[in-house]
Amino acid sequence: MVIAEGIGSATRDLAFGGRPRFNYLGLYTAYLTILRNNTDSRWARWYNAPKGIVFMLRPDNYGKTRASVTFLAKEKAYKDLSEADQKRALIDRIQGAGWESERLVNEIKESEDLYFERVSQVKTDKWTKGRVVITGDAAWCATPIAGKGTDLAVAGAYILAGELYRAGNYEEAFRNYEKIMKPYVQECQKLPPGIPRIVYPSRESELHS
């Protein structure tokens, strides 16, 4: 059985008897789809706001705009909120932050696809248990901060498939898969000094320094 799910994979937790370790990076992030308007173009746009907030807007291929809001926060600050409470918390955090924050406030109120979660790396000691193997974010999420999510997803699936094809049995294939992928995952999860906090200035003066 191959589990290729996200950071919060319930199938992984069930198969491995509990949750992995998470390395919280000091950020919460929200994603949602919003209506396109005349300030949008074919380019992605990024805005650093005071209080450690980053907005990003980018066009999609369906005539709408994808928005993200990422900001500094303590790990348990917004944990286990209902969707309605998530919306209220986000609105309180970004209201009056400038740029297109008021547009986003209105869109968050109406959103039907809001994703709001901590930014954490997944740290797992083993990726296999019996006939079960995990890959992708369920095994090693590096977070968007690392900029290696697609590389890891494609490489993990490619190497796992290749080793299953080449090996004499699944045990050998799983061993080879871990041996090949783990050093690359460890390298991808390393972040440069000061990242991510350096990208999220908490005072307005830091925006112009």
Summarised one tens digit per residue, pLDDT across range 161-191 is 999 999 989 999 999 999 999 999 999 999 8
CA distance 8 to 11: 9
pLDDT confidence of residue 203: 60
pTM for the model: 0.85
CA neighbor of 91 nearest in space, from 74, 75, 111 = 111
- Residue 8 above 80 pLDDT? yes
CA neighbor of 103 nearest in space, from 171, 40, 188 = 40
In terms of Cβ atoms closer than 10 Å to its own Cβ (0-12, 13-18, 19+), residue 158 is exposed
Residue whose structure tokens are 């699936």:
157
CA distance 12 to 164: 20
- Pairing of the two strands 45-49 and 21-35: unpaired
